[in-house]
Amino acid sequence: MTSVSVSFEVRRQLNSMRALGNYGSVDELLLHMLKAHRLNHIQADGDRLRSRIAELDDIDVASLIARLDLSPYEE
């Protein structure tokens, strides 16, 4: 098991989860849980980015450039 100090109850719960999930060790279970947690965060970030990109579909880029006076083609 990892070097993290845990209570008897937490250790019992982890071992129960390990057995139910057919994991070879508690470390393997924890690695799987961390991976799932990270993937959930990545998916949530992706969803947020997709929604922000969808908001950009309605922007007229040419008029925005003209309003900001950033066009490299104007003299």
- Structural domain spans, the chain: 8-68
Rounded Cα–Cα distance for residues 45 and 25 (Å): 31
How many alpha carbons fall within 13 Å on the CB side of residue 17?
14
| Per-residue pLDDT tens digits of the chain, which is 75 residues long | 446 677 888 888 989 999 999 999 989 999 999 999 999 999 999 999 999 999 888 888 888 877 787 766 665
What pLDDT score was predicted for residue 67?
79
